[in-house]
Amino acid sequence: MKRAVYFALICIVSSSCASRFSRTMKSKDNEYRYKMAENYYAQKRYTYAQQLFDELFPYFKGTPRFEEMYYKNAYSYFYQKDYLNAENIFKSYVDNFPTNPRAEECEYMRAFCYWKQSPKVELDQTPTTKTIGLMQAFINMHPGSAKAKEAGELIDLCRAKLELKDFKSGELYFNLGYYKAAAIVFNLLMDDYPDSDKSDEYKLLIIRSYYKYAELSILDKQEERFEKVITEALEFKQRFPESKHAAEVANYKTLSENYIKTVKNEQAKTAD
């Protein structure tokens, strides 16, 4: 019974609030609507505030209050998690008020909106790439900003996500049996992320992929392709002498050398 009464009260209050907002939206008194927009914003009722700010923009453009409305409207969209529109308004704020002290904050928030749109690693990472570009531009423009450190940390997170996506692509190719394609992707990973703490793992995966590719090749191609495995293994040893993967790489090298001997023996028998 108490729950039913409580629910009924909520419905009544909500209906009353909606009715008041509807009357406010229809009002011809822009000063009153502006006051209500400010009140809604202060109460964190951002949906109402945003709708009123949008309505009032044409009437307050060019007035001293226009900048404040623009700023709060951007955050109204942001707090509703409408990052697409928030990004656009933060950008417009910087374009319209480039010398305002808040412009630096809005520049950062624009980039941050892209970060908030960054999807799961399996999906298209355009927002992630955009975040990196805008955050780096922010750091270059405002190296002494209080947000510069946070911007750098977000760039690192974005790069880690892109690295993981590329790794999963290589892993998928390998699991599907497209070993040459897998080796190419892992090679690109090493080129694109030269400072990665997983570089030795990527090199191992290159070697493993080339080994499987050689193993499944026709006899005439095997010697050349196992030589490629050996070359990659020698590079691994030189670059990562202390790697935990060293033993596995050495094994691939030994197996490849043995395969080449076998191939040569088979070719010699065929020649006879």
Q: Which residue has the higher pLDDT, 20 or 173?
A: 173
| Domain spans in the chain, listed from the N-terminal domain onward | 177-272
Report whether pLDDT(136) > 80. yes
Would you say domain 177-272 falls under CATH 1.10.8.870?
Answer: no
- Whole-Å CA distances, 218 to 206, 268, 270: 20, 16, 14
pLDDT higher than threshold 80 for residue 125: yes
Q: Is residue 180 scored above 90 in pLDDT?
A: yes
* Mean pLDDT (whole number) for 146-172: 98
What is d(CA 69, CA 54) in angstroms, rounded to the nearest whole number?
A: 9
Q: Tens digits of per-residue pLDDT, 37-76? A: 999 999 999 999 999 999 999 999 999 999 999 999 999 9
Q: Is residue 149 very low, low, confident or very high in pLDDT (cuts 50, 70, 90)?
A: very high
Looking up tokens 């019974």, which residue turns up? 1
pLDDT for position 271: 64
Q: Assess whether pLDDT exceeds 60 at residue 15.
A: no
Give the chain's mean pLDDT: 92
Q: What is the CA radius of gyration of the chain?
A: 30
